[in-house]
Amino acid sequence: MENCTRRTFLSVPAAAMATVGAPAILSAQSPSDTLRVACVGTGNRGTWLLKNVLKVPGVKVVAVCDIIPERVANAAKLVADAGGSAETYADFRKMLDQRKDIDAVVLATPDWTHKDFDIAILEVGKHLYAEKPMALTPADCKAVAAEVKRSGKIAQFGFQLRHDPATNAAEKFIHDGGIGRVLMCHGIRHSGEGLPRTTPWYHDRTKSGDMIVDQGIHILDLFRWAIGGHPLRAYGTGGQNLFKNEPPGRTCMDGYSVIYEYANGVYINFSHHYYDPPAFTGTTENVFGSEGSVDLVKGVWQPREKRGQIKLDIPNSGQDSTYMALASWVDSVKNNKQPINGAESAMETTLQALMGTKAIYEKRVVTWDEMIA
């Protein structure tokens, strides 16, 4: 669903790539450097992750797991087509029991499974690339973060847009002081497609955490990264304005707007809905500062008092964010480095998303202190 939209995939051989945020791994590997990976959950997202991790040098996919037989068979075929061989499993705990040689797991099961599956994988000493959100409650986020710390394993969470070349360059420019003091972030994620009708769990807010936690979280993560720290409070409004009970049983919203206040008057203003006509508004992610503003999607900036956008230097321009995220994760595992989207960061971003959702449901201002209490 999200995979091939605005940050598009360009098929460039992995070995030809330089680095964003880390991958020094892209040089030749000796066999002993091989990271033996299992992919769990080979649906929409898991298949894309599998295709990309297969391209990362020094990775061997040795097992694939899904409870739907056709999906796991398709995953095994993708591995075979890439010249490898992966054993298939329906039960990931059995897989972890039987295949002691697995070093690391890429997990892309539905949101409501994340807390238990993340912890189960870390408990048996595997490195982890886990899809977002971290979990669906603050207590569960804390439990996952605690297990990452206890295990000492490298865990990276699915905020791959941090690794998108244009966005990564734009964030670096902000962090280096290019736009002065960050004043506010403005985001729009309007689409006409909505959530996939063929995947019922997305429409059940007890399983997906609803629109902010499942989808808006990506942009909110980038804004939180740009500002630094966490919001102090959130308020907003939203609900089902168009897709009432559609598909039947839907409990997720179809649109909302949320504002997050940070320290020193800095704030985020974010609008997200599913009733955009084709190519009408789409997605924008802008960060405004005292000296100028940055477009995180395009990787351009503009001084505050001048006309005309200036292109930033974008290493690896055009490379796919998911490939870059996985390559960076492998590099972190091999060199024992903390990912830029590790547990602490993923927890704060997920809490931020849960905070906005709570504010909308309860029609009140929700504070950060409530979320971490």
Task: Kindly list the residues in this chain that would bind ligand NAD in the complex (CB under 6 A).
Answer: 1-2, 40-46, 65-68, 71, 92, 108-111, 113, 131-132, 158, 160, 199, 214
In angstroms, the CA 191 to CA 280 distance is 9
Q: Which long-range contacts (CB under 8 A, 24 or more apart) does 276-279 make?
A: 276/190, 276/191, 276/192, 277/192, 278/192
In angstroms, the CA 358 to CA 245 distance is 21
**Minimal distance in Å, beta carbon 65 to ligand NAD?**
5
In angstroms, the CA 103 to CA 280 distance is 45
For residues 164 and 179, which CB has a smaller minimum distance to ligand NAD in the complex? 164
**Minimal distance in Å, beta carbon 262 to ligand NAD?**
24
Q: How many CB atoms lie within 10 A of CB 112?
A: 17
In angstroms, the CA 211 to CA 159 distance is 15
For residues 18 and 90, which CB has a smaller minimum distance to ligand NAD in the complex? 90
**Chain centre to alpha carbon of residue 280:** 25
For residues 68 and 80, which CB has a smaller minimum distance to ligand NAD in the complex? 68
**Minimal distance in Å, beta carbon 319 to ligand NAD?**
15
Residues 254, 274: contact at Cβ < 8 Å?
yes
**Minimal distance in Å, beta carbon 69 to ligand NAD?**
10
**Minimal distance in Å, beta carbon 90 to ligand NAD?**
7
**Minimal distance in Å, beta carbon 131 to ligand NAD?**
4
For residues 292 and 356, which CB has a smaller minimum distance to ligand NAD in the complex? 356
Largest CA distance in the chain: 63
**Minimal distance in Å, beta carbon 111 to ligand NAD?**
5
Q: Which amino acid is at 68?
A: I
If we measure between CA atoms, which residue out of 350, 112, 97, 306 comes closest to residue 212? 350
- Nearest-CB residue to ligand NAD? 43
Beta strands in the chain (DSSP E): 35-40, 59-65, 87-89, 104-107, 127-130, 155-157, 182-190, 233-239, 255-261, 267-273, 283-289, 292-295, 300-303, 310-311, 366-367
